[in-house]
Structures are given as structure tokens and as C-alpha cells.
Amino acid sequence: MKSIKDAPIQIGTRVFVAADLDVPIENGVIKETYRLEGLLPTTKFIVEKGGIPIFGGHMGSPHGKVDDILSTRHLKSFFDTQLGTSGYVLLENLRFDIREENNDEQYARELADKADIYVNENFSTSHRRHASIAQLPKILPAFAGFRLESEIQHLTKILDSPEKPFVVVIGGAKLESKKPTVSKFIQLADYVLIGGKIGLDWTDEIPQNLILPLDYAENQLDIGPETVRKYVDIISTAKTVLWAGPMGFYEKDKYLLGTKSIAEAITGNPNCFSLIGGGDTVAAANRVGLLEKFSFVSTGGGSMLEFLVKKTLPGIEALG
């Protein structure tokens, strides 16, 4: 895998930036920009060399149908302000064309015609075998962006040499999506703390280092006070914490306490390297005002979980 820092970018070089553009928009306003901010180091590097970034990415899942709410035009003001130049191209939502998701070779060729080289700066979609992720980098000279490299580096560190004690906190609603990650970290971590709905749905055996909730709050929509106490104690001893998945139905204040307590325990531990990821986990950390306090915030959800299990992704493989 070659780094963007070694890419042959000269004045006028057109660089297709496979970009993580999938940010929430409300009434045309971007509600959360951390993914877009992740694009800036690579983008500024291209612009400083005189290259022209051609951003190609998706918003939402329009499955081949044009939907103005999901148009990338809503992102133009962000790039104009951040880059201070109009010397870039923002392609329309790639998923407005069904061939993107179908990993269509002809579509990839059409995208390739727009650029001279390719850079992957879309970690959060790199688990998908889609045309701009898995196909296009086989056609153009392909490079990893700075943010993608940083994702790989931090996640690899967590897998290979986490400082111990290493505590993994897994929550959320969909057990199937988290189960391989739980199984993996049962092997690697000192503790795997389970919260959220997946704690209720867990039916497999319970090894010694896997901790399930001891109690729940009202309607089982949050972990209870005894669980919070136990988890906070364990987290306070950790040197490394990985957190994916809220502890409860955090969207409602009434069920936010468990998630808030865990976020406070992690970010309040001064000796701890903390890594979080997942759309809802990041939103929850933001909601309690602590997102900035985590050591590393992955832009990935599903892609982060898959990378943690397989140590690679289709989009990373395609970079060679």
C-alpha cells in the first residue's frame, strides 16, 4: 500500500479522492462534520502541490435513485470555506447510480476518466465492494490517504500491542453485527464489557473476561446502577479502552445515564488510550459533550468492526 505522500502530484494532476461524505444533513445543514474534517489533511496536501481533488463519495443509501436531500451539493459550502479555493470538483452522490453499489467495472472506468490518480480517504466505506472503493483503485495508480493510514495504524496498534489492562466495551442493538468483534476481543482483551440490547440477546457461553450487565434501568433500555459501578471500576484501571456501541437507548435523555457514565469513566482516566467508533457511539459521545476527549475517534462503524476482526478490508486490499 503506497502513501499519498509519495504520490506523483504536480500542477494540474487530477486526484480522485474516494471520500467519506456520509454526514447527517438536516434542512440542508451539516449536523456533524468530523468525517469531512478527516478529509482535510489529504486534500490540503493535494491542493498545496497544485493538484485538483475530485471528491467522489456517497451520502445515505439512495440505491440508484436521485434524491436531492442526499445531494453532495449540501457539502459545497464546507469545502469552499475549508479549502479557500474553488479548485476542486465535488462529484454528485455516487450512489445515485446503482452501478456504484454493483461494483460495476464500466462505471469505475467512467470515474477513472475523470482523474489521473486515486486516493482512498473513505475508511468508513472500505468494507464495501463498491466501484469507487474496490474497482477504481485497480484502474488508476492508487494511494492511501493520511486519514486512512491513521485509521489502519491506530486499529492495528489496538490489535497487536495494546497497553494492558485492555478493556473493550461493546454495546448497541444489533448482536449479529457486534458478535465477531466480541469473540475476537475475548481472545485479546482483559475485559469485554457488554451493554445495550446485545447484553439481553447474548445466549452464548460466558468466558471469565466477558462481563454482562448485572442490572438494567426501566424497560431494559439502559444498563442499571450496579452495572455502571462495576464497569466504571474496571475502566478506571485500564491503559487502553476500545468502545463501540452505546449502553442504552441514548437518543432519549432518560436512558442516557449508562452511556454518559461510561464516556465519563473512559475520558476521565488520565492514563488511558481510548479509541471509539460507530455512528451512534460517536453521536452519543457528542451528545454528552465528550467526543473531543477520546484519544482517537474512528470514522468507521461497520468498517471498523470488520477491520478489527479481519485486519484488512476490500478497499485496503484494492490498494495493493
Using CB under 6 A, list all residues that contact ligand ADP. Answer: 171-174, 196-197, 220-221, 244-246, 248-251, 278-281, 301
Nearest-approach distance from CB 24 to ligand ADP, in angstroms: 12
Q: Which does 5 bind (CB under 5 to 8 A by kind): Mg ion, ligand ADP, none?
A: none
Smallest distance from the beta carbon of 111 to ligand ADP, in angstroms? Answer: 29
CA gap 91, 76 in Å, rounded: 10
Element (H, E) at 120: strand 117-121
- From the list ligand ADP, Mg ion, none, pick the one residue 121 interacts with, judged by a Cβ distance below 5 to 8 Å according to partner type: none
Q: How far apart are CA 192 and CA 186, in angstroms?
A: 6
CB of 287 to ligand ADP, least distance (A): 11
Residue 220 touches which of ligand ADP, Mg ion, none (Cβ within 5-8 Å per kind): ligand ADP
In the complex, least distance from residue 117 CB atom to ligand ADP, rounded to whole angstroms: 33
HSE-up (13 A, CA, CB side) for residue 75:
29
Cβ neighbourhood burial of 14 (10 Å; 0-12, 13-18, 19+): middle
Q: Which of residues 238-297 bind Mg ion (CB under 5 A)?
A: 279-280
Nearest to 139 by CA among 98, 100, 107: 107
The CB-of-178 to Mg ion minimum distance in angstroms stands at: 10
The reply to whether 22 sits near Mg ion by the rule CB under 5 A is no
Residue 45 CA: distances (Å) to CA of 145, 151, 289: 10, 18, 31
Residue (of 312, 7, 309, 281) closest to 144 by Cα position: 7
Using CB under 5 A as the binding criterion, the count of chain residues that bind Mg ion stands at: 2
Which of ligand ADP, Mg ion, none does residue 197 bind to, with CB < 5 to 8 Å depending on kind?
A: ligand ADP
Query: Using CB atoms within 10 A of its CB, is residue 128 exposed (0-12), middle (13-18) or buried (19+)?
Result: buried
Q: Smaller CB distance to ligand ADP: residue 24 or 279?
A: 279
DSSP string, 176-203: HHHHHHHHHHHHH-SEEEE-SHHHHH--
* Dihedral pair phi/psi, residue 166, rounded to 5°: -110, 120
CB nearer to ligand ADP: pick between 51 and 245: 245
Select the binding partner of residue 173 from Mg ion, ligand ADP, none (C-beta < 5 to 8 A, by kind).
Answer: ligand ADP
Residue 242 binding result from Mg ion, ligand ADP, none, given CB thresholds of 5 to 8 Å by partner type: none
C-alpha to C-alpha distance for 269 and 280, rounded to whole angstroms? 22
Cβ at position 186, least distance to ligand ADP in Å: 18
Three cell numbers written together for 212: 454482562
Q: Which is nearer to ligand ADP, 56 or 301 (CB)?
A: 301
Q: How far is the CB of 319 from ligand ADP (least distance, A)?
A: 25
Judged by CB, which is closer to ligand ADP: 81, or 203? 203
Nearer to ligand ADP, 244 or 263 (CB): 244
Binding residues (CB under 5 A) for Mg ion: these are 279-280
